[in-house]
Structure 1
Amino acid sequence: VRDVSFDISVGVEVPRHKIRLHRLPARIVKIVPAYEGYEYFVLADGRIVIVDPDTYKIVLILT
């Protein structure tokens, strides 16, 4: 994702129509089983943003 017009912080709701989410890879879920079913997107600076697909809220930001 090139530019985002919202705050990238844990707990912030991602705009549903602006961001395309992808399923977390199995290798990530193997490391953190609690994130099974969660989705993510990648920012231009390389940060990986993990999102709860039920609420569209950010749950974790990996740098």
Structure 2
Amino acid sequence: MSDETTASVNITTEQRTEIHEVIVQDAPPPVDLDINVSVGVEVPRTVELRPLPPRVIEIVPQYRSYQFFVLADGRIIIVQPKTYKVVYVLTA
């Protein structure tokens, strides 16, 4: 069973792999949070969000307005920047 979840967009295994590869090529420093990060959770506004790389937007155009950060455990967290709510969790 996978803990990769999404609110409304279906992403294939191949797309997940490509998104992960694109993001880790130029990943920001990882963030260590003391909360359980999952879809729907609002992360602290102290977390520095980064725009998704253009290649990720090409793969999943619905993510155009989203941003991301990387957790210390390697999970990539995609966030709605207006609300800081998690919309997708991508495992390493």
When the two structures are superposed, what TM-score results if normalisation uses the length of structure 1?
A: 0.90
**Based on CA coordinates, which of the two structures has the bigger radius of gyration?**
2
Task: Select the structure that is richer in helix.
Answer: 2
**Superposed CA RMSD:** 1.0
Match of 2:42, SS?
coil
Gaps in structure 1 of 5+ consecutive residues: none
Question: In 1, distance between residues paired with 2:72 and 2:32?
Answer: 7
Equivalent pairs: percent with the same residue?
56
Gaps in structure 2 of 5+ consecutive residues: 1-29
When the two structures are superposed, what TM-score results if normalisation uses the length of structure 2?
A: 0.63
Are the equivalent residues in 1 in contact too, given 2:31–2:70 (CA < 8 A)?
no
Task: Select the structure that is richer in strand.
Answer: 1
Task: Name the count of aligned residue pairs.
Answer: 62
| Residue equivalent to 1:7 | 36
User: Counterparts in 2 of 1:27-38, with a 5 A limit?
Assistant: 27-38=55-66
